[in-house]
Amino acid sequence: MRRPKRDNAESQRRITRRALLLGGAQAGFAGLLALRMRFMQVDQADEFRLLADENRINIRLIPPARGRIFDREGRIVAENTPSYRITMVREQAGDVDQVIARLAQLIELNPEELDRAMRDLKQLRGDTPVTIADRVSWDDLSRVAVNAPALPGVTPEVGLSRRYPERDNLAHILGYVGPFSDRDLERVNAPEQLLRIPRFQVGKIGLEARQEEVLRGKAGTKRVEVNAAGRVMRELDRVEGNAGADFQITIDSELQAYTHARLSTESAAAVVMDCETGDLLACVSAPSFDPNLFVRGISQTDYSALLENKYRPLPNKTVQGVYPPGSTFKMVTALAALDAEKASTETTVRCPGHLEVADRKFHCWKRGGHGNMNLHASLRESCDVYYYDLALKTGIENISAMARRLGLGIKHDLAMTSVAKGLAPTKAWKQEVKGAEWVIGDSVNAAIGQGFVLSSPLQLAVMTARIATGRTVTPRLIKSIDGVEQPTGYGEDLGLNENHLRQVRKAMFAVSNSRRGTAYGSRVAIEAMQMAGKTGTSQVRSAVVNNNDVPWEQRDHALFVNFAPYDNPKIAVAVVVEHGGGGSKAAAPIARDITLQALYGEDPPLSAYPSKDRGRIRAQQERMRRERLEAAAKEESDRA
């Protein structure tokens, strides 16, 4: 059937309109394409000329500056210093061995460092910068920069490296940083890309490790243009990261240095604590080590020397070391008995030199006995039999509960690694851990801080501060973060009878200031600065043998705790001298000297010491003053 002429004309008009529209659209698109091509070929010709010949854009991370650490007076104790290094990107270098050979002709390469770099170049992604030489001199850096065209993929860089100006004085508190390792990678669930930068430094131990994420900061990024030879042509843009937070710790670095010097010849630990706030003013483990040695990887020789030292310089004895507290624990037993109303301050016990319990004799340190003892005299002269008797009346559950109340047998929350919990034993603990029933002899031993009882020097300082104040003072290490003050450890009321605490404090005062006191030889001569303390001797062997007749490793530990001034307690001190013998001879003199240094804030006057000690103290002060000047000169020289 033939269509009418009218329909054919209408169809023809529609086809013509569609053709015109389609043609117009094609013409417009072609025009836009032509304009774009002109823009790219003419207006952007210079930019695309640089991107030609296999040029490409790389996005690189900018490591953030690590947060600095200051002491309580604002002295810097951990800082970042410029460090020059040479890096290489494998896929930009081409023939890696050939480039390394050229580089070796310009600068001296450390064989161990080079071997480590070669492993990284093989194992890591081809676009990852790997450090070939670290801590190079400015002259070496300049030679590499001048010869950059002949060293494809090699880049001289300026970075930051951690430095600890106080060296061994604060090593156990601050810890140190080191390259992020495979072992570190295993402990992180989803490591950020920043951590994968070869030899990126992270905290390994101490405050550096415990506050790693806050100190590390956030990485920035930069876009750089490199040519076919891997040479950076220019930086296109940069987004700066965020530096890590600055920390201020409660430690007084000058008191810390003095305490470290005072302990320098011993295997020992000392803690100085502010009774008001709980601030740790000094926390020294001796001997120590230089954390700067670990920052870039310690040599095997240096590390072996630390491991083989019988005085164990690597562990932090102040929080990690746990010891039987010996007679310093007697205040705990006394307060437990008083609080449980199993004894009074006037309770008298006769000491004949031993107490027979379950067909076994438990001896007093004074073989001939002390005679009739009350609470005051028993603490003053450290009579063991008195506390054996209290243990039988009071029971281990009450004694251990009081120990925890005073800060023993609990793990204190501090930004340090390996903080020990210690042990305030109970019947249930022995059954669970030892698989045995508690016996009465266990309670007798625990009453004088022996047997299963264990405590750290930090815990002993906390115990002393709580007795001095009657509050649950808790230790604080971090004073502020980026200027924001952190909560203090002031604490609440212990809930103990104030008269009981007063009687225990008076007895501790007699320990240091009565002629019959076990620490009278280490008293303070100036009345306003007098201290109250308690000696302790911790047995490390069962046989009763004179300490001078056995090797150093088998001698008793010496302990001393104190607070001062007696009338207005400001600081609490705990000292443990490993295998030092008696607390009155080895630990008490050290604690007295540290106490006076902390109270005066400088070398105390000789009048603060008994006349018999003044010649020795004068010589000691002069020696330490010379050592401080020598250390300051060395630090200045290293900075230069």
Asked whether 244 and 215 are in contact (CB, 8 A), the reply is yes
Q: Can you read off the two tokens belonging to residue 576?
A: 């443990």
Q: What does DSSP say about strands 571-577 and 557-564: parallel, antiparallel, or unpaired?
A: antiparallel
DSSP state string for 536-572: EEE-S-SS---GGGS-GGGSPEEEEEEEESSSS--EE
Expressed in angstroms, the distance from the first to the final Cα of the chain is: 107
Query: Rounded CA gap, 156 and 22, in Å?
Result: 59
Structure tokens at 454: 């264990």
Q: How many alpha carbons fall within 13 Å on the CB side of residue 82?
A: 9
Residue 429, burial from CB neighbour count under 10 angstroms (0-12, 13-18, 19+): middle
Residue tagged active-site, from 161, 253, 285, 327: 327
Q: Are 533 and 463 in contact (CB under 8 A)?
A: no
Catalytic: 327?
A: yes
565 preceded by cis ω (within 30°)?
yes
Q: Are 295 and 162 in contact (CB under 8 A)?
A: yes
Helix (H, G, I), strand (E, B), or coil: what is residue 501?
helix
Q: Are 610 and 602 in contact (CB under 8 A)?
A: no
Q: 3-class SS at 520?
A: helix
| Residue in 210, 179, 223, 173 with CA at minimum distance from that of residue 197 | 179
Give exposure, 540-574, as e/b (b: 16+ Cβ within 10 Å). eeeeeeebeeeeeeebbbbbbbbbbbbeebbbbbb
Instruction: Tell me which DSSP letter residue 64 carries.
Output: P
CA angle 285, 327, 447 (to 5 degrees): 125
247-269 burial string, b = 16+ CB within 10 Å, else e?
bbbbbbbbbbbbbbbbbeebbbb
- In contact, 507 and 534? CB cutoff 8 Å: no
The residues assigned a catalytic role are 327
